[in-house]
Amino acid sequence: MTVLAGILALLTGLAYTGLGVITAYELARHRRSRGFSHFGAAFLVMAFTCGPHHLVHAWRHLVAGEAAHGPMIAALAIGLAPGLVFIGLRAEAAFGGRGDRLIAGTPLWLALLPGLMIGAGGAVLWEALRHAAAMDVDLRALIPNAILFANYGLVGIFTGRTQFARRPVLAGWSVSGIAMSGVFTTCAASHLVAGMLTRAEPLGVVFDNIGVPASIYFLWAVHRLHRDSLRDWNRRPLVGRASPLGRRSPWAEQGA
């Protein structure tokens, strides 16, 4: 169980860190021709704080031998599928590919997916609360992770709402958009579970507390794009390739 938790945390940490590297490359590549991107910068600081957060947990499980609780493993496992899809599409876009796919209509499995994810997430959080009630919760770990839970949960809600708003225009669903919503809702749950069930240690406290302002900046950028009130060349960084300002924002509730 402990080794499995460590492997899942390691894969998650490497994935976020890799996304940060890809984002840094794109920001540097387009800096002269397109200028500064708030969304790109916000995504960069988010990835470079979330990634080390998970890598610290991987070290604690795989090297230090810290025991892992069942809810922590379940929270990481639930986020694995949307994470792999999201990262694969993001890497494809970085190398000039499409970076997205369209699911036509609403197949039965997709209609059932939100309910299944909510049910699984609720069960994990309930088990985490039961475990936390039987142990001493470390507020140094809980407080910053509770804030991260709220911020990344809102990011997941905004991205999910966008997919529902754009569905009539697209006559289907964006795979990248669905995966992004899944990534951040499961990321939010993972942070809350980690905050409830782990003891604070110096390196983890540093990355968790740095992650709080990073998550606020990221939430601000996502919300502004969701409302179509932010002019940013990085309008499609997560749903295909980046584009100039003339391209419609996928966050807008009216499609192109």
Q: Round to whole Å and give the CA distance between 141 and 209.
A: 9
Condensed to tens digits (0 to 9), the pLDDT of residues 88-99 reads: 888 887 777 887
pLDDT at position 243, please?
Answer: 46
Give the amino acid at 121.
G
pLDDT at position 234, please?
Answer: 56
Condensed to tens digits (0 to 9), the pLDDT of residues 100-135 reads: 888 998 899 999 998 998 899 899 999 999 988 888
pLDDT at position 150, please?
Answer: 96
Q: Round to whole Å and give the CA distance between 151 and 104.
A: 31
pLDDT at position 252, please?
Answer: 41
Residue pLDDT tens, the chain, 256 long: 789 989 999 998 998 898 888 888 888 877 777 778 888 888 899 999 999 999 999 999 999 888 888 888 999 899 888 888 888 888 887 777 887 888 998 899 999 998 998 899 899 999 999 988 888 889 999 999 999 999 999 999 988 888 888 888 888 898 988 998 998 999 999 999 999 998 888 888 899 999 999 999 999 988 887 776 566 655 544 444 444 444 444 434 444 3
Q: Is residue 90 within 8 Å of 22, Cβ to Cβ?
A: yes
Rg (Cα) of the chain, in Å, rounded? Answer: 18
pLDDT at position 29, please?
Answer: 78
Provide the H-helix boundaries in the chain: 2-34, 38-62, 70-78, 80-94, 108-133, 139-170, 175-197, 202-226
Q: Round to whole Å and give the CA distance between 123 and 179.
A: 21
pLDDT at position 196, please?
Answer: 93
What CA–CA distances, in Å, run from 76 to 17, 162, 169, 184, 218?
16, 25, 33, 12, 22
pLDDT at position 213, please?
Answer: 95
**Cβ-based neighbour number of residue 178 at 10 Å:** 21
Residues listed for the chain: 256
**Cβ-based neighbour number of residue 158 at 10 Å:** 19
Residue with token string 């900046």 = 217
